[in-house]
Structure 1
Amino acid sequence: MAGNFKVLTEDAQFQAELNQAGGKLVVADFTSARCGPCQRIAPLFEEMAARFPNGMFLKIDVNQCAAAASSQGVSATPTFIFYRNKTKLDSLQGADPETLEARIRQHYGDGEGEEVEDSGVPGHIDLMPMINKAGCECLNESDDHPFTQALSSAGGYLESDTDEQLILYLSFNQAVKLHSMRIKGPAENGPKIMRLFINQPHTIDFDSAECANAVQELTLTTKDLDGELLPLKYVKLQNVMNLTIFVKNNQTDAETTHISYIQIIGSPVQTTKMSDFKRVTGKKGESH
């Protein structure tokens, strides 16, 4: 049995495991010993835990943990629910291993095992695992301090190259809602004015970023650069596949701009597909 696979037998264990998991992806299998499809997919679910070692896989019998199942709105078995930082990301009904594995891959991220920061915003998460790093791009980044260094709190930083301006293009692996963000940088040459654009077909150039209509413009203070929460226009950011950030200048008009860390906070767009609701009681007459 993989170390990241656990069988829960008491209601209290459920919240305890969510708390302990922190930023890791948690996949909870709400199952029943009387459900034929549940028993068929059970060994495959346990195998998936070994293939996704940076996630946590919980097997929860709805009869033994009735309160936990009820609190999560479980009405049929098997139901798989996905969490990160105690926030529900998605759910899936039915014993379809291919669909389950695809959904796990969708929410798992790049699997590098890096620590995911707590967003500090109830109901929303750090969207870092949903950023497709291979699809990201930065214009005017320094060769020594590229964009990817600002996507982690490990200690690196992004620095502009020939002047103070930057264009950051972040691609998400699924549609998301953007709630807020945090930017960290030095008081001298951290970013000051930033213009935000969404769902661009390609990375825009600097001239376009200057004159095009932005969904939001932010003016940061040195206090903001300590990682203060920057609210975004949530109602305008409900179905975002990519985010472009144009850094127009920095705090003191220094020659280059320096960004230590970027955190994007929000939640996945949860769409209900009828194909997700497969028969969960098995063959006709089979109980669950």
Structure 2
Amino acid sequence: MGVKHIHTFSEFASELEAAKEKLLVAAFFTEKDEACENLAPVLDNLSNRHEEVKFCKISITECKTIANSYNIRNVPVCLFFYNAHKIDSVDGGNPQVVTEKVKEWMNTVKIKKVPKPSVGGFMDLTEYIDNDCECLNESDKHTIADCLEDNDLKYLESDCDEQLILHIPFRVPVKLCYIAIKTHGNNGPKEVKLFNNQMYSMGFDELTAIDAVQTLE
């Protein structure tokens, strides 16, 4: 089948949709990089031997939007997708590891044991959260970064005020359907007000002057 060269975000979205229940391997690369050049013939060989798997390659200089959406910093790297959801990633610097990972996921897909989104077809958006998150009134020891980790030993704590403002931007456009808030005993929020599409971290006075899109009690 060959390795398809992706040039635009919409082209990649179409490739994800077309893959449906096939395993899709997306290799991120940059031009004139020795490790990327060494991986290329391996992917070509795999694509020709395994027609049940789709392969594509994406230049991080040509398609910065795609690279940023998956937080790609070092190349080569291969991302694995199934049903349009990212299920794994592997450093492409070792072609043998890539080959083994492809075979591993091929077998997993065949017996239909691919992990599925936890809530009715929706996916976890944590990996798309931008690093520029802010929290007004957070303590120095327990910051907003702690509450975004899946770790029961870490949590967000106020320094002294009973109110917190969390600004959580995403690197790509998203449609938010659910929010999960874990608490320790009675230390959780009594009321949560949601404001969407705010381009910067607002203060208490600014947020008081506008209506929340939703209030949770």
Q: Which runs of 4+ in 1 moved over 6 A?
A: 57-60
**Following the alignment from structure 1 to structure 2, what is the Cα–Cα distance between the partners of residues 196 and 151?**
17
Aligned match of 2:67: 104
**Secondary structure in 2 aligned to 1:28?**
strand
Alignment of 1:207-246 (within 5 A): 207-219=205-217
TM-score, normalised via structure 1 length: 0.42
* Structure 1 residue 67: Cα displacement: 4.1
Gaps of 5+ in 2: 1-18, 75-87, 89-114
* Structure with more of its chain in helix, by fraction: 2
1:160-171 alignment runs, 5 A limit: 160-171=158-169
Q: Quote the residue 1:44 is aligned against.
A: 36
Q: CA deviation at 1:118?
A: 7.7
**Is 2:118 the counterpart of 1:120?**
yes
Instruction: After superposition, give the CA deviation of every residue in 1:265-287 in whole Å (9 maximum; x if it has no partner).
Output: xxxxxxxxxxxxxxxxxxxxxxx
Please tell me whether residue 193 in structure 1 is matched to residue 191 in structure 2: yes
Higher relative contact order (CA 8 A, sep 6+): 1
Structure number with the higher strand fraction is 1
C-alpha deviations, 1:91-113, integer Å up to 9, x for none?
x7xxx5632576234313688xx
Q: Which position in structure 1 is the counterpart of 2:147?
A: 150
- 5+ unaligned residues in a row in structure 1: which ranges? 1-13, 19-25, 30-39, 49-56, 70-77, 81-91, 220-288
| Residues matched between the structures, number | 153
Assess, with a 3 A threshold, how the Cα gap between structure 1 residues 122 and 187 changes in structure 2: closer, same or farther: same
The DSSP-based 3-state class of the residue aligned with 2:138 is coil
CA distance in 2, matches of 1:101, 1:204: 28
Say if 1:109 and 1:129, in contact at 8 Å, map to a contact too: no
* 1:181 aligned residue (172, 179, 182): 179
Distance 2:60 2:72 in 1: 19
Percent sequence identity is 34
Q: Does structure 1 retain, via aligned residues, the 8 Å contact 2:60–2:67?
A: no
CA displacement at 1:65 relative to structure 2: 3.5
Give TM-score, length-normalised by structure 2.
Answer: 0.54
**Structure 1 residue 127 displacement after superposition:** 1.6
Instruction: Give, as a single letter, the amino acid of the residue that structure 2 aligns with 1:98.
Output: T
- Alpha-carbon offset, residue 170 of structure 1: 0.7
